[in-house]
Structure 1
């Protein structure tokens, strides 16, 4: 429903399975768990299966049927491959060692930010009610949009020519005819989207559009020309929207906490760049990349 950009971390299930499989040899002398399977001389314990079920299955997609048994079979398959990899000394390969270390860093960084963001305060009833009231395009005046989008490369100085054509056009076909006459390439995409699937920052502009209208914008990636072919109202009541709003606000707060923590860590660290200079860092993007509890 309400989504805040979710950037998946690389192959979480595979990483989880790999770390579980590789860490067993390091667990000697620690607490023992029930053995759920044995592959040659290697035991797979219940805590390994539980770890993958809790942290891996969600990222790998829904597992139908009996998830525990299916994940166990995956663990067995992977253990067989791990044993073969060790026989071939792939665990000594520098590329493999680097990948394991990269996965370890990623998991530790994510665990740290998850701990930091767990301290966020849940939204109050007043905040939830205010969010519903302040975003009618998402709820009380929610629409389903039938859209056609022309995607064009950056046009430079010719963008003003296209914008004039859009302002004077009576429909999308008139614009496409002009583009073809000028030999300007474009790609047409059609989609039906509810309000919550549109970018939140652009939703007010969509809400103001009437059926048949055109909207043009330009960015570093190129030009986007959107035609609202049709739309219809399908509102959501406050009671139905409440859990969605609560998750969205909670997630937004977690992202802000992650962003602030990354800024704090950078401010207190000594960072030197080998090539000299200091590249611009988007702390918000880094926070999103490390934070994976986005609302859905």
Structure 2
């Protein structure tokens, strides 16, 4: 049931600042010469033919390396610089071949520029968001037992079944009585019904909140069946291993999630107000297209709040892993 147990949440990328890393990188770059040979912070890191790569460019890439430790900076900085050298060589060749004037390239550059400026505005708006309080963190933890205190790792057998209305009705009555996925596969084959199937182990962070809430209510050996326009999605719970996460272990990840979610909502509300006060006119074929209801657009932007341990042997949480699971990074 890939469609029922997968999600594609929308997101607004944010720059992750790493002050300590940047300071170390700048320090490493400044240590190239003796006391009498101090260079400015914008010194050149490498010369490539007639071009140059600055320390600032290296630092910009380091900013996008979450979790980088100070002792890793020197090695990572060199790898980053080597990558920038390769990039510069490619750019020089592209420029020589006038690829920078290609309409597709110009269009892509303009699109990237618009995205960067829009994200800068969003980041500026989000600066006013306050961090969640300990009480808010606890309230969130308590409100999502399926993610924390009663968290389970699911062994699932998923089926995507092609079926007409009559077949769907029959299968919805039949499937709950089957003992396992093998019985369903056999029944579908005998009936000549096309289907796709897979066995998968899923943690809560990989399951949409709606499906997770339903899975949390059923036990091993039971089915979750959903009808769709083209057929059915069916999931058999072959196993559900308890894997609780303590409040203390989840604290930092929850704080980061709540903060990020607040920023997303604030930016969304800000854009909504701008829309209300702006003069917007759709033209051509878009003029006759049905508008997307605000409620539907808002629901599409919702993320699935989930938490996962960094490793099976530990109940510590990794905020970066959490945010990736949430689709917020």
- Give the TM-score of the pair, scaled to structure 2: 0.72
- Pairs within 5 Å for 1:22-33: 33=42
Between the aligned partners of 1:153 and 1:209, the Cα distance in structure 2 is 25
- Pairs within 5 Å for 1:86-125: 86-125=95-134
Question: Shift of residue 217 of structure 1?
Answer: 0.8
- Does residue 1:261 correspond to 2:289, yes or no? no
1:277 matched to which residue of 2? 288
Give secondary structure in 2 for the equivalent of 1:66.
helix
Q: Could you list the runs of 5+ residues in structure 2 that have no partner in the other structure?
A: 1-6, 14-39, 67-71, 304-319, 325-329
Decide whether the 8 Å contact of 2:151 with 2:204 is kept in 1: yes
Question: Shift of residue 279 of structure 1?
Answer: 4.2
Give secondary structure in 2 for the equivalent of 1:131.
helix
Question: Shift of residue 114 of structure 1?
Answer: 2.0
- Pairs within 5 Å for 1:48-127: 48-55=57-64, 57=65, 66-127=75-136
Out of 97-106 and 221-230, give the one that drifted further: 221-230
What is the aligned counterpart of 1:229 among 219, 234, 238? 238
Decide whether the 8 Å contact of 2:159 with 2:197 is kept in 1: yes
Give secondary structure in 2 for the equivalent of 1:208.
coil
Change (3 A) 1:105 1:228: same
Higher relative contact order (CA 8 A, sep 6+): 1
- Does residue 1:295 correspond to 2:328, yes or no? no
Question: Shift of residue 202 of structure 1?
Answer: 2.3
1:17 matched to which residue of 2? none
- Does residue 1:135 correspond to 2:144, yes or no? yes
Between the aligned partners of 2:46 and 2:74, the Cα distance in structure 1 is 20
2:197 matched to which residue of 1? 188
- Does residue 1:179 correspond to 2:201, yes or no? no
2:27 matched to which residue of 1? none
1:16 matched to which residue of 2? none
- The size of the alignment, in residue pairs, is 265
Between the aligned partners of 1:35 and 1:235, the Cα distance in structure 2 is 51
2:3 matched to which residue of 1? none
Decide whether the 8 Å contact of 1:259 with 1:287 is kept in 2: no
Between the aligned partners of 2:166 and 2:73, the Cα distance in structure 1 is 54
Decide whether the 8 Å contact of 1:146 with 1:193 is kept in 2: yes
Cα RMSD for the two superposed structures? 2.9
Between the aligned partners of 2:216 and 2:300, the Cα distance in structure 1 is 31
Question: Shift of residue 262 of structure 1?
Answer: 2.2
Change (3 A) 1:153 1:261: farther
Change (3 A) 1:84 1:4: closer
Between the aligned partners of 1:48 and 1:86, the Cα distance in structure 2 is 19
Change (3 A) 1:171 1:4: closer
Between the aligned partners of 2:267 and 2:12, the Cα distance in structure 1 is 16
2:55 matched to which residue of 1? 46
Question: Shift of residue 52 of structure 1?
Answer: 2.1
What is the aligned counterpart of 1:169 among 174, 178, 181? 178
1:26 matched to which residue of 2? none
Between the aligned partners of 1:295 and 1:69, the Cα distance in structure 2 is 28
Out of 230-239 and 193-202, give the one that drifted further: 193-202
Between the aligned partners of 2:300 and 2:63, the Cα distance in structure 1 is 25
Question: Shift of residue 223 of structure 1?
Answer: 2.4
Between the aligned partners of 2:75 and 2:41, the Cα distance in structure 1 is 25
Q: Could you list the runs of 5+ residues in structure 1 that have no partner in the other structure?
A: 10-30
- Give the TM-score of the pair, scaled to structure 1: 0.79
Between the aligned partners of 2:254 and 2:168, the Cα distance in structure 1 is 38
